[in-house]
Chains A and B, each alone.
Chain A
Amino acid sequence: MTSAQLEIQIIAALVAMACAIPGTFLVLRKMAMISDAISHSILPGLVLGFFITNDLNSPFLILLAAITGVVTVVLVEFIQKTGLVKEDTAIGLVFPALFSIGVILIAKNANDVHLDIDAVLLGELAFAPFDRLEVNAIDIGPKSLWVIGTILLTTISLLLLFFKELKLSTFDKGLATTLGFSPLLLHYGLMTVSSITVVGAFDAVGAILVVALIIAPAATAYLLTDSLKKMLLISCFLGVFSAISGYWMANFLDASIAGSMTTMLGIIFLIVYLFAPKRGVFSVIYKEKHQRIEVSLLVFLLHLQNHVEIEERHVDHLQKHINWGKVKSKTILDLAQKNNLIKLSGNIVNLTEKGTEFTEEALRYITTNKETAIEDLKAKFFLFRG
């Protein structure tokens, strides 16, 4: 691995982390699409800054572009507040307008600046190691490494300082207001951090893919945890993992680094979406299937409890009486027997002592709907779990 390769991976990892942190809050605030708006509409700010400074990593340019990002949010909110258009429409109106101004600015000056539409859309991480930062004529690494490193450090410090405030205002804006915190200030703080992060990441991954780095890790982490702290950590980890594995994938395929990173994010999301232990598609299907079986089992047990007549408790009769298909009634008979809830004498089904007790408890839960009763059931029997 050459030092340029190492530098690219470090930059990619830092970009991914810097995006994942504000991304977590944007996803929880259901504002994911605002990152799309910001990433496009900073373009005119970026281009103007570039004309003035001639340096994509100049702090002045970053500031100017970040201001454009915040202006986007303000404009979207302003249009939305008039009540004449909805939020998604307002977003769709604002960012193409600003983006197109940027595109025209680039096109008009395309001949003499090093900034083209491809780079704007997709970024060019591979060139990052060529633009060095020198202090007293000593090379201290690629400029973009320093830029994104500074942004990430600032983001982490702000997160540590205002974690409590961000959590509260994201979960319950009303309470945040009444407790004397300013949700508005926090909102614009988050928007500013998001804008600066997008500008910092822009050079590396471009306007379209930066959205994936912001949203995908958070959306994936959301499916994996019940804690905000863990969600932040998992987001960052997934971002870094995709950055590095994406780099090697690009290396192997001889393809775009940013494109490969995003593809990795997509693959990871898909895997988690399908296989996440509690919220994944398969886990939900499995749970629903089991709940169906358990409800049928309960119906079956209640039927046994309600009928002493032999003919009502004959195995063959049960199948047509309770309206089950053959496979299902066998599943339920087996399940009940396995848990010692029933015993078969010939073809006649009888409730066991445990079966009677279980049925009574389940019935009590259904009629009283008391949570304590169900807690008992969960511990004692397999039913009602999860």
Chain B
Amino acid sequence: MIQKKYAIQIDDLTVAYNYKPVLWDIDLLIPEGVLMAVVGPNGAGKSTLIKAILGIIKPIAGSVKIFGKPYKKQVNKVAYVPQKGSVDWDFPTTSLDVVMMGTYGSLGWIKRPGSKEKKQALEALEKVGMLEFKNRQISQLSGGQQQRIFLARALVQNASIYLMDEPFQGVDATTEKAIINILKELRKAGKTLVVVHHDLQTVPEYFDWVTFLNVKGIASGQVKEIFNDNNLTKTYGINYKVAINK
């Protein structure tokens, strides 16, 4: 039997905080090479889904496979862009240094980053248009710039799968355009991207694949096939137009 190749395969995943389930029995297949939005209301478990895929949160049931293997064996194939608020931006370090952190995974323990890693980091900074801010202390960056630094850090990981938790949060329109262009480029290069997204209006424009989530999995598939009134109502509990204008 020939199995279709899935970048991420999630089976019966249940995650709970203090025994209160936030994700209930999720089954999700994410094909390789899609640019996928994860949408759902607040508290739907979108960030939790990403963290569970990465093993940051331990599920109480179910399994996650990355290209058919457990995450621990595929660490270098996955890059993660966390929410901007997840770190302390007053930390004494520069943009370049934060981006270099993306290379630590391939370096492993003890080995230190050298000129090769620095070159990769500089290239990534250039890609996100942040080269001129390379020596800037990170608290001196604007919200949009901080988001780009996180994106650059994921780029140097040179992974096959990119998991992003609200990369468009608190960024201006120009930065949003710049980020989405980079995401589309990555997809063209055959990468798989999973993006927690809030703005329903831009889903058809930005993404080709979508997953509706509200504690349980509602639907997952191609945007042009399943991004409709029915699924939006099921996910948000209100009608499509209201949800989209929210």
Name A's B-contacting residues (CB within 8 A). Answer: 28, 30, 83, 161-165, 167-168, 170-172, 174-175, 177-181, 222, 225-228, 230-231, 369-371, 375
**Looking at the complex, which one of B54, B87, B92 makes contact with A177 (CB distance below 8 Å)?**
B54
Q: Which residues on A sit within 8 Å (CB–CB) of B54?
A: 174, 177-178
Q: Which among B82, B92, B107, B142 is the interface contact of A225 at CB below 8 angstroms?
A: B92
Residues of A close to B87: CB separation below 8 A: 171-172
Taking the nearest CB of chain B, how far is it from the CB of A151, in angstroms?
A: 21
Contact of A228 among B55, B93, B153 (CB under 8 A): B93
B56 & A174 in contact (Cβ 8 Å cutoff): yes
Is B206 close to A, CB under 8 A?
no
CB distance from A190 to the nearest CB of B (A): 15
Q: How far is the CA of A375 from the CA of B130 in the complex (A)?
A: 13
Q: Is the CB of A178 within 8 A of B75?
A: yes
CB neighbours (8 Å) of B4 from chain A are: none
Residues facing A in B80-131 (CB within 8 A) are 80, 82, 86-88, 91-94, 98, 101, 104-105, 107-110, 112-113
- Neighbour of B92 across the interface among A172, A180, A231, CB < 8 A: A231
Q: Interface centre among A28, A83, A371, A375, by most B CB within 10 Å?
A: A371
Q: Which residues of A contact B108 (CB under 8 A)?
A: 180
A168 touches B104 (CB 8 A): yes
How many Å from the CB of A276 to the closest CB on chain B?
13
Residues B72 and A180 in contact, CB atoms below 8 Å apart:
yes
Q: Do B110 and A172 touch (CB < 8 A)? A: no
Considering the chains assembled together, what is the distance between the CA atoms of A226 and B145 in angstroms?
18
Partner of A226, one of B88, B92, B104: B92
Given contacts A171-B87, A174-B56, A371-B142, contact A179 B104 (CB under 8 A): yes
Contact residues in A for B132 (Cβ distance below 8 Å): 375
Q: In whole angstroms, what is the CA distance A227 to B174 when docked?
A: 30
Q: Min CB distance, A353 to chain B, in Å? A: 28
What's the Cα separation between A175 and B154 when bound, in Å?
10
What separation, in Å, do the CA atoms of A163 and B93 have in the docked complex?
A: 13
Question: Which single member of A83, A164, A226 contacts B112 (CB below 8 Å)?
Answer: A164
Is B3 an interface residue, CB under 8 A from the partner?
Answer: no
Q: How far is the CA of A163 from the CA of B104 in the complex (A)?
A: 12
B18 to chain A, nearest CB (A): 6
Distance to closest chain A CB from B140 (angstroms): 8
Q: How far is the CA of A370 from the CA of B171 in the complex (A)?
A: 11
A174-B80 in contact (CB<8A): yes
A375→B136 CA distance, assembly (Å): 13
Inter-subunit contact B80/A178 (CB<8 Å): yes
For the complex, what is the distance from the CA of A371 to the CA of B104, rounded to whole Å? 30
User: Which 3 A/B pairs are nearest by Cβ-Cβ distance?
Assistant: A179-B105, A226-B137, A180-B75
CB neighbours (8 Å) of A227 from chain B are 92-94
A197 to B76, CA, bound (A): 36
- Out of A83, A172, A180, which one reaches B105, CB within 8 Å? A180
Look across to chain B and name the residue whose beta carbon is closest to the beta carbon of A83. Answer: B18
Complex contact B113–A164 (CB within 8 A)? yes
Chain A contact residues, majority secondary structure: helix
- Distance in angstroms from A89 CB to nearest chain B CB is 18
- Using Cβ atoms and an 8 Å threshold, which residues of chain B touch A167? 93, 101
A-chain residues with CB within 8 Å of residue B229 when the two chains form the complex = none
Contacts of B185 in A (CB 8 A): none
Minimum CB–CB distance from A376 to chain B (whole Å) comes to: 12
Closest CB in chain B relative to A187 CB, distance in Å: 15
CA distance A30 to B87 in the complex (A): 12
**Chain A residues whose C-beta falls within 8 Å of the C-beta of B75 in the assembled complex:** 178-180
B172 at the interface (CB under 8 A from A): yes
Mark contacts of B136-160 with chain A using CB atoms, 8 A cut-off: 1 yes-contact digit, 0 otherwise: 0100001011000000010000000
In the complex, are the beta carbons of B93 and A164 less than 8 A apart? no
Q: Are A369 and B172 in contact (CB under 8 A)?
A: yes
CA gap between A170 and B101 in the complex, in Å: 12
B78: interface (CB < 8 Å): yes
30 intermolecular pairs with C-beta atoms under 8 Å apart: A161-B110, A164-B107, A164-B112, A165-B110, A167-B101, A170-B91, A171-B88, A171-B91, A171-B93, A171-B101, A172-B101, A174-B51, A174-B56, A174-B80, A174-B86, A175-B82, A178-B55, A178-B78, A178-B80, A179-B105, A180-B72, A225-B92, A226-B137, A227-B92, A227-B93, A228-B92, A231-B92, A371-B144, A371-B145, A375-B132
Q: Is B98 a contact of A171 with CB atoms below 8 Å?
A: yes
* Shortest distance between the CB of B38 and any CB in chain A (Å): 17
> Within the assembled complex, what's the spacing in Å between the Cα atoms of A228 and B86?
19
Do A178 and B56 form a contact, CB below 8 Å, given A162-B110, A222-B92?
yes
User: Most B CB atoms within 10 A — which of A28, A172, A231?
Assistant: A172
Which interface residue of A161, A178, A370, A371 has the most chain B CB atoms within 10 A?
Answer: A178
* Nearest opposing residue in chain A for B90, CB measure: A222
Contact partner of B109 among A28, A181, A375, CB < 8 A? A181
Whole-angstrom distance between the alpha carbons of A341 and B67 in the complex? 63
Question: Shortest beta-carbon distance, B116 to chain A, in Å?
Answer: 15
| Bound Cα distance A17, B225 (Å) | 64
- List of A residues within 8 angstroms of B144 by Cβ: 371
Instruction: Give CA–CA (A170, B90) in the complex, Å.
Output: 12
- Given contacts A161-B110, A178-B54, A180-B72, A28 and B91 within 8 Å (CB-CB): yes
The residues of B that contact A181 with a CB separation of less than 8 Å are: 104, 109
What is the CB-to-nearest-CB distance from A75 to chain B, in angstroms, rounded to a whole number?
20
**Chain B residues positioned under 8 Å from A228 (CB to CB):** 91-93
Docked-complex contact B94 and A168, CB < 8 angstroms? no
Contact of B82 among A161, A174, A231 (CB under 8 A): A174
A222, A226, A370: most-surrounded residue (chain B CB, <10 A): A226
A sample of 5 more A-B contacts (CB under 8 A), given A178-B56, A179-B105, is A174-B56, A180-B108, A226-B93, A227-B93, A375-B132
Query: Nearest chain A CB to B134's CB is how many angstroms away?
Result: 13
Least Cβ–Cβ distance between B19 and chain A, in angstroms: 11
